[in-house]
Structure 1
Amino acid sequence: MPTPHPPRARRLAWASRNFRIQTAATVISGLGNAGAPIATAFAVLGNGGSTAEVGYVTAARLLPTVLFLVLGGTLADRLPRHHIMVAANLFSAAAQAVLAALVLAGTVQLWQLLLLSAAGGAGYALYSPAAGGMIMQAAPQEHAARAFSVFRMSQNAAQIGGAALGGLLTTAVGPGWVLALDALCFLAAAALRFLLEAETAPAPTGGGMLRDLREGWQEFASRRWLWVIVLQFAVLVACVNAVEAVYGPAYANAYLGGAADWGLAMSAYGVGLVVTGLLMVRWRPRRILLVGNWGVFLFGVPALALAVHAPLPLLVAAMFLSGVGVTVFGVNWMVALQQEVPEEMFSRVSAYDELGSYSLAPIGTALAGPAAVALGLSGALWACAGLCLLLSVAVLIDPQVRRLSRREPRRSTADAPVPADEPAPAP
């Protein structure tokens, strides 16, 4: 007789070795990464810096991310992705270790914060497209929604623990130790990713990197639903980064209990990510981008809560709802990319996606401080909340966003992708 409950190993048979290793490494690096922005922001504030300087340091990290993402995507479609991820993790570990040493010594200066934050951004730019291509390839398409939900749940669980631990450690022992922990997490993640097996995806043929860049751009630009969403996120990410990296810490420092309270709020965001991930394991909405965009409506809720000077419990609830929205969008977005983009183009299209989405983030964070001076902190927060709501409505004008539907997995790599001007019909 068959057993009523199959063994866990059988239930997780769809999770390949690479998927498991990459997920575990992402959790480890995520623990450090969730606390590092809190530590960096309070390192600036604790050193006598202003809200504007917090924005400048955040922008310094984002600028090289924007500049080098396309290069990272091209390399990731030409070279073994796991080698690129290991090298990027080691580079980031070194940058965070130096920053931690300077903060612990009490000698850190603004130019050093800017330079080392920029180094971290460059490391991320090389890592992210390779990581995106690896996880899309490691997830079987027939189990894509389940795989991406499990991956994001694991990633987001690290966000909860990392943000809470980062906030508490920043308050208890200072930001330098949180940055040192981030460096150790990068080292551990690099050691795990060293064990990843080489992918079987075909390397781009002939023509050099310029041809690869052009082919990636053509693949990206040929799908209107893709670049419409990316244009939406160019502004959304700038607003959300300004709220989470600049306005949130400044508000917590002035009106709440400082780093510990902001860490609690960020943990609630992580809880929203994980709880919704459990739902997304089984939920397979037909209109993947339409449903995903309903989640985007929640992105501006934290800015709204801060704008009305909500007490900590309401701010925690707002951050939770924001996490719900991010997971609803994120899982459906990954399903859409894996379904519509050829495997050999994953990393390049992912790079153009992130490039567009982050393109305004350095400007947004750099201007966050001056905007708070000009409009007042509440006025700047109202502007962020309003933009998030407006863009969530505007993107639904495009019929491809509304109609792009889940379809059966491609049976072979020879299957033709959906034409750019004709989203897949609803089943």
Structure 2
Amino acid sequence: MFSVLRVPKLGRVWAGQFVSMVGDGVYTVTVSLYLLHRDDAPRALGTLLAATALGGIVTLVLGGAVADRARRSLVICAADLLRILGVASLLLAGPDASIGLLAVLGLVFGCGAGVHRPAYTALIAQLAGRDRRREASALRAATSRFTGVIGPVTGGAVAAASSPGAGLLINMVTFVFSMATLVRLDEPPPGPPADGSARAGLVREALDGVAYVRGRGWMLAVMLQGTAQAALVIAPMAVVVPLVMGGRGPAALGLVTSATACGALVATLAAPRIRSRRAGNVAMLGLLCELPQIVTVWAGAPTAWVVLCGAFAGAGASVFAVLWGAALQERTPDGMLGRVYALDALLTQALVPVCVAAAGFLLGVLSPAALTAFAGCALILTVVAVLPVPGVSTLGSPTEREPAVTRSGTAP
């Protein structure tokens, strides 16, 4: 997996994005602490996070289209500038900024994140080349898992040693470092349509990305499964697990969170070695690895069992992420990567903010056990429902090749 870093320019891009992703973890912790002293802290933080999520969602598809028609390193730099603007404005406004201003700043930061994600994912795949995309997918997933552990820890340490504002400043510095690694990268742009015709408009190209996915039933089916799982399983468990485990003390919740991250990291390192003609079945089995943790939380099992099953759940999720990411990279033409990744992220994230809020409301009516049981049933049903779709079990036909690109940048 790490051998892919020897590919020219890829190691340089990865280093910048690694530092930037650590900064994202620092931001996650320190922005919460930054607003914590306010009398309306829950409302203020909720407004900022909801606006950030909304900004990311509304810009994902267009961000993918931009990443497929411009140099992706420049798109990432533009996204970093947007996020620097958002964090700098928050620091200038201070922790007592109005709710309306927090909503605006959250939108700015979220738009930067929405533009960044498809451009970064597509750039890594582009630099790796088609024959090393599985290793690149694993490296990207491992980086995300690892920085997801050390970033928040670093943020907490900085806030304790100095102040939350110092953590936000560090976040800005990581964006600057990211931009420095991308200066004069000079990677080739995705290129014009193969027939030499003029490009379609940006909105049309974004819609072409949707049409491309719709034309591949297996791809759309797995993306819709991700939508259902994120809304019906991940969202409620994101509320239930902290509530149940947090009631046993900070150490219990910390152990579960760390175990999930560690299991995910270990599986990410091993997943690139998986070779199966039924990669889709293996990937879906990985998703079902979350079921034991759901059962232990539902049953009120001892903390040690929840921790062990948390590691198992993290490992399974990583196996799915690596195999699914590799399939998208192998089955999608370079000029369409940004849009396909953007649509995948959009479908996964679109309902999560609403469903997390709904889960919090339902816990005032239902017990944690009832909501957990619902999540477990939903997990089984969403996985079983998608398996019969042709192409899902193999994540695409073995004979499927990169299609020719037409006038609007999509396949016929």
Write the distance in 2 (CA, Å) between the matches of 1:284 and 1:272: 20
- Distance in 1, matches of 2:119 and 2:209, equals 14
Q: CA distance change for structure 1 residues 147 and 70 in 2, over 3 Å: closer, same or farther?
A: closer
Aligned partner of residue 25 in structure 2, secondary structure: helix
Give the structure 1 partner of residue 387 of structure 2.
396
Which of 12, 20, 31 is residue 29 of structure 1 equivalent to? 20
Please name the residue that 1:184 is paired with: 173
Q: CA 1:48–1:285 in structure 2 vs 1: closer, same or farther (change >3 Å)?
A: farther
- Distance (whole Å) between structure 1 residues aligned to residue 320 and residue 201 of structure 2: 35
Q: Contact between 2:4 and 2:128, CA under 8 Å: does it hold in 1? A: no
- Residue of structure 1 in register with 2:87 after alignment: 96
Q: How does 1:77-88 map to 2 (within 5 A)?
A: 77-88=68-79
Residue 229 (1) aligns with residue 222 (2)? yes
Unaligned segments of structure 1, at least 5 residues = 1-7, 421-427
Query: Is the contact between residue 65 and residue 125 of structure 1 (CA under 8 Å) also seen in structure 2?
Result: yes
Q: 1:29 to 1:303 in 2, by over 3 A?
A: farther
Match of 2:145 among 156, 171, 191: 156
**Alpha-carbon distance, 1:32 to partner:** 2.4
In the other structure, the counterpart of 1:136 is 125
Aligned partner of 1:117 in structure 2 is: 106
- Partner secondary structure for residue 202 of structure 1: coil
Deviation at 1:265, TM superposition (A): 3.8
Pick from 156, 177, 187 the counterpart of residue 198 of structure 1: 187
Q: Once structures 1 and 2 are overlaid, which stretch shifts more, 379-388 or 357-366?
A: 379-388
Whole-Å separation in 1 of the counterparts to 2:353 and 2:318: 24
- TM-score, structure 2 normalization: 0.83
CA distances 1:143-180 after superposition (whole Å, capped 9, x unpaired): 22223223322332222212333455566766554444
Q: How does 1:217-296 map to 2 (within 5 A)?
A: 217-238=210-231, 239-241=233-235, 243-244=237-238, 246-249=239-242, 254-257=247-250, 262=253, 265-296=256-287
The answer for the alignment partner of 2:347 in structure 1 is 356
Compute the displacement of 1:28 (Å).
Answer: 1.2
Q: Give the letter aligned to residue 333 of structure 1.
A: W
The corresponding residue for 1:347 is 338
Shift in alpha-carbon separation, 1:381–1:196, aligned structure 2, 3 A? farther
Q: Deviation per CA, 1:29-63: give whole Å up to 9, x if none.
A: 22122343344556666646687886665433222
Q: Which amino acid aligns with 2:320?
A: F
- Taking a change above 3 Å as real, the CA distance of residues 209 and 109 of structure 1, as seen in their structure-2 partners, is closer
Q: Describe the shift of the 1:142–1:26 C-alpha distance in structure 2 as closer, same or farther (beyond 3 A).
A: same
* TM-score, scaled relative to structure 1: 0.80
Preserved contact between residue 55 and residue 106 of structure 2 (Cα < 8 Å): no
**For 1:114 and 1:302, how far apart are their aligned partners in 2?**
35
CA distance in 1: counterparts of 2:170 and 2:372, whole angstroms: 31
The 8 Å contact of residues 70 and 355 in structure 1, kept in 2 or not, is answered as yes
- What are the superposed Cα offsets for residues 96-122 of structure 1, whole Å, 9 maximum, x if unpaired? 3444566xx652565554443333221
Against the structure 1 CA distance between its residues 172 and 268, is the aligned structure 2 distance closer, same or farther, given a 3 Å change threshold? Answer: farther
Instruction: Verify: 1:211 aligned to 2:211, yes or no.
Output: no
Aligned residues: 402
Q: 1:368 is matched with which residue?
A: 359
Aligned amino acid, residue 234 of structure 2? V
Q: Secondary structure at the match of 2:387?
A: helix
- Structure-2 change in CA distance of 1:84 and 1:73 (3 Å): same
Q: How much does 1:403 deviate?
A: 3.3
Amino acid at match of 2:185: L
C-alpha contact 1:273 1:326 (8 A) present in aligned 2: yes
Provide Cα deviations, 1:287-307, integer angstroms capped at 9, x if missing partner: 222211111113455555544
- Aligned partners of 1:232 and 1:347: how far apart in 2? 20
* Amino-acid identity (%): 26
Q: Which AA in structure 1 matches 2:125?
A: M
Q: Distance in 2 between matches of 1:248 and 1:109?
A: 32
* Stretch moving more, 134-143 or 200-209: 200-209
Secondary structure in 1 aligned to 2:365?
A: helix
Give the Cα–Cα distance (whole angstroms) in 1 for the partners of residues 295 and 170 of structure 2.
32
